[in-house]
Structure 1
């Protein structure tokens, strides 16, 4: 049985209802309750509906909204509610058929139309309630991005952050109140931004310049990861990520996280990948969190504790990496907890660990790979090869 929606999510531009399509204006005329931020409510003409200012914290507003279930209710949102907007957080609390959305042009669309940037080749991100570092993997010379920010102070903080990571030469287009009578657009290099009167709502378009950029290939430079020597080095990391073969939506267990480089690169492979890093050393666990945050992978979950005990209660993995502390007990526990179809990659350095992996490979199949690397080093007035310890890698699908 179809049910008429009691909730309408209306996208509102800075010119208020004047620029709204007929359906949005009609929804406002027929509403019993209108909810929205104070800024959005101030754009409306005199209306007969009860008005409710959306409170802070945001979650309290959801409680108020659901109390109106069954009454004709309008929630005001900026632009397109489902493009870095409030739509997704609202509708996950509702049943199909309870709501409808009437979008207006999004901030991203207005910015692209103003600057002449094709949206399909422009990075778009909502950073008004997210760390600036979410943009870090996308920054490279010539990259274009449009981001929403919390307020004018955040725009200055954003410019300082860009400068701090080497992208101070980037051109910033500071976009205020797009689409309305207060619209203002100004440009500055990030390292020179000195505007003190930036007003909300604000977004920033970036033409990136500087570096260093993060390569899109596995095996990023070791220098991106703060570490105390416990790190899977770049060439071995590239081979390990290739064996782990991350897919969108998959979850990795990184056992013996060290610097977090494996888990972080897993997360950089796709925005829907998930990862949990298990590290016994508390200092290293904190370092893993900091590395993840600085590289835009703050969704990494870090568990401080000893495996296999620390694995209890974790979400089931699609792939597992064991980079240190391999033991018979560890492999037994991991193998029992792995679901069918999950992948395991383990790297061994010691002879004892090599024997252990060889035995497990003989029993359970998979591939054994011996990795031997050497780097050119000074040898007197000439150069010679300095070999690293060989690594034996076992990769298997259960």
Structure 2
């Protein structure tokens, strides 16, 4: 262990101690306490025979136990590369860099890519541990290659079911079990095939004929969302997302979320973004949650309650952008002023209005706060040959100083 740190996280593979570096083994032998899963401790049994060791249970309790030892020499054993969807990655958000030393082993992604001769830079490396399987959906497109850390032996079947729902049933699933160990085994998965809990799943995505193949570029077809008519239509949605301008790490508040289309497209468009969607109607709130799951963004936080009062519950984490898509006809400038007040400095407020009352509220707000106003008129050609002229939509964009 480095003298400047109190915690060392060591990656260990299925090959056990013989595959570890001399530095990692020396660290184990010098440790006063080693924490790890049952499998990790068994693999390292020879070097920790005379060392106090504890078996971790769930992630939350283990993180708490490690943090409780702050300042005391501690070693944690973890699978493969602990900084890639691993224990050290979780701890990195809670510790200063000088608190922790990480000694990685070959990751499952590295080993799987080597076995399959897949260039790692061309693969989406994902995890199904502690995440809804639907979170994989945005990464599925024709020709995509995915490597997935399975939660257990049921993950391949769950991924296959997801692919079927997405019209990607022709995809090939390859299971790689116990990578790097004496029990290593690789096979093409088929329904009913038993799989070891310790497995990595490789997916070659192939679309079925006629598959919709949803893009991550904003402007999904209206039919991609379940809705009761309360939906920002495709063309208006694409313009709205361009004004919201999502960037990695940013938080959006979607106020009056309706079906959740704006919130969902924000999350799909840019990785590492967040959303809190507010909707007062319980049925629509359930629709927001269902659409988020179906379209692969289960991280969306959907909150019931009446705006603007409900916004105060989230004031400690102010948004980078706010979209007001509902409630303007009832609440007018009161809602816009509240949203503006919660924005971070430099944040963007975007609002859409169709009705006479909501457009009047936007116009008055613009006169006080400044910003830009755009009127969008969309007409769609009907099968009869005429045009379906829709009501003009007023877009507002303001940036908070």
Q: Considering the TM-score relative to the shorter chain, is it more than 0.5?
A: yes
Alpha-carbon shift at residue 6 of structure 1 (Å): 3.1
Alpha-carbon shift at residue 144 of structure 1 (Å): 0.4
CA 179–288 in structure 1, closer or farther in 2 if over 3 Å, else same:
same
- Is the aligned partner of 1:283 residue 2:283? yes
2-structure distance, mates of 1:182, 1:294: 36
Return the match for 1:335 from 337, 340, 351: 340
Alpha-carbon shift at residue 125 of structure 1 (Å): 0.8
CA 306–114 in structure 1, closer or farther in 2 if over 3 Å, else same:
same
CA 77–360 in structure 1, closer or farther in 2 if over 3 Å, else same:
same
Which consecutive residues of structure 1, in runs of 5 or more, have no partner in the other structure?
Answer: none
Match of 1:374 in 2: 379
SS at match of 1:359: helix
Which consecutive residues of structure 2, in runs of 5 or more, have no partner in the other structure?
Answer: none
Match of 2:201 in 1: 204
2-structure distance, mates of 1:308, 1:38: 50
CA 346–149 in structure 1, closer or farther in 2 if over 3 Å, else same:
same
Match of 2:229 in 1: 229
SS at match of 1:312: helix
CA 245–71 in structure 1, closer or farther in 2 if over 3 Å, else same:
closer
Q: How many aligned positions are there?
A: 389
Match of 1:132 in 2: 133
1-structure distance, mates of 2:41, 2:368: 68
SS at match of 1:341: coil
- Residues 205-354 of structure 1 mapped to structure 2, 5 A cutoff: 205-210=202-207, 211-314=211-314, 315-326=317-328, 327-354=332-359
State whether residues 137 and 213 of structure 1, in contact with CA within 8 Å, keep that contact through their aligned partners in structure 2: no
SS at match of 2:381: strand
Alpha-carbon shift at residue 184 of structure 1 (Å): 0.4
CA 334–45 in structure 1, closer or farther in 2 if over 3 Å, else same:
closer
Match of 1:119 in 2: 120
Alpha-carbon shift at residue 174 of structure 1 (Å): 0.4
SS at match of 1:199: coil
CA-to-aligned-CA distance 1:97-121 (integer Å, 9 cap, x gap): 3321110100000011111111111
State whether residues 219 and 237 of structure 1, in contact with CA within 8 Å, keep that contact through their aligned partners in structure 2: yes
Match of 1:364 in 2: 369
SS at match of 2:154: helix
CA-to-aligned-CA distance 1:172-209 (integer Å, 9 cap, x gap): 11010001110000013xxx43312x112111011001
CA-to-aligned-CA distance 1:354-381 (integer Å, 9 cap, x gap): 22222322332222211111111133xx
Alpha-carbon shift at residue 5 of structure 1 (Å): 2.5
State whether residues 156 and 173 of structure 2, in contact with CA within 8 Å, keep that contact through their aligned partners in structure 1: no
Say which is worse superposed, 173-182 or 96-105, in terms of deviation. 96-105
Alpha-carbon shift at residue 72 of structure 1 (Å): 4.0
TM (norm. structure 2) is 0.92
2-structure distance, mates of 1:268, 1:91: 26
Match of 1:153 in 2: 154
Match of 2:179 in 1: 178
- Is the aligned partner of 1:195 residue 2:198? no
Alpha-carbon shift at residue 25 of structure 1 (Å): 1.2
2-structure distance, mates of 1:76, 1:340: 43
- Is the aligned partner of 1:5 residue 2:9? no
SS at match of 1:303: strand
TM (norm. structure 1) is 0.93
Match of 1:386 in 2: 388
State whether residues 32 and 49 of structure 1, in contact with CA within 8 Å, keep that contact through their aligned partners in structure 2: yes
CA-to-aligned-CA distance 1:273-305 (integer Å, 9 cap, x gap): 111111110111111112112222222121211
1-structure distance, mates of 2:94, 2:307: 37
Alpha-carbon shift at residue 214 of structure 1 (Å): 2.1
2-structure distance, mates of 1:45, 1:301: 43
1-structure distance, mates of 2:214, 2:39: 38
1-structure distance, mates of 2:160, 2:79: 24
2-structure distance, mates of 1:333, 1:69: 42
Say which is worse superposed, 322-331 or 142-151, in terms of deviation. 322-331
SS at match of 1:159: helix
Match of 1:165 in 2: 166
